[in-house]
Amino acid sequence: MAMKIRLARGGSKKRPFYRVVAADSRMPRDGRFIEKLGTYNPLLPKDSEDRIKLDIDRIKHWLSEGAQPTDRVSRFLEAAGVLEAKTRSNPEKAKPGKKAQERAEEKAAKAADAAEAAAAPAEEASAE
């Protein structure tokens, strides 16, 4: 059985509240789970102690059984010191958008034209 440690959404509309659960990966997000391992309330301030509550001992148990945490849960576990921090790189996200790239190209073209225009009179003066 492929086990996941993931978030199961609760709460009402526009008021999310999540349970950190150990579940079979084939079950739906908010469906059946095996064990509740903690809670996550994104509406609380980031420095609040009640924002993320985890049962570290049970999480370690499930990790030793082969459960794989999802990306968001692995970030919580890295912050808690349970997992080693992974290096993440998304170069696509760091790239500017299409409009910004077009503006940068136009600016580079204008700078190149200005450099050529400045160099041309200097060459003519040296030729005379």
Reported pTM: 0.66
Residue 116 scores a pLDDT above 70: yes
48: tokens are 């609040």
Which pLDDT band holds residue 99 (cuts at 50, 70, 90)? very high
**Strand-strand pairing, 3-10 and 68-69:** parallel
pLDDT on residue 21:
94
65: tokens are 């059984």
- For 73, other C-beta atoms within 10 Å of its C-beta total 24
28: tokens are 């739906």
pLDDT on residue 29:
82
- For 22, other C-beta atoms within 10 Å of its C-beta total 21
pLDDT on residue 126:
59
Q: Which residues are 21's β-sheet partners?
A: 6, 36
Residue 96 scores a pLDDT above 90: no
Q: Is 115 helix (H, G, I), strand (E, B) or coil?
A: helix
Contact criterion met (CB below 8 Å) for 28 and 21? no
pLDDT (tens digit, 9 = 90+) per residue, 34-88? 999 999 999 999 899 899 999 999 999 999 999 999 999 999 999 988 888 887 7
Buried b (16+ CB within 10 A) or exposed e, 28-66: eeeeebeeebbbbbeeeeeeeeeebebeeebbeebbeee
Q: Taking every pair of C-alpha atoms in the chain, what is the biggest distance, in angstroms?
A: 88
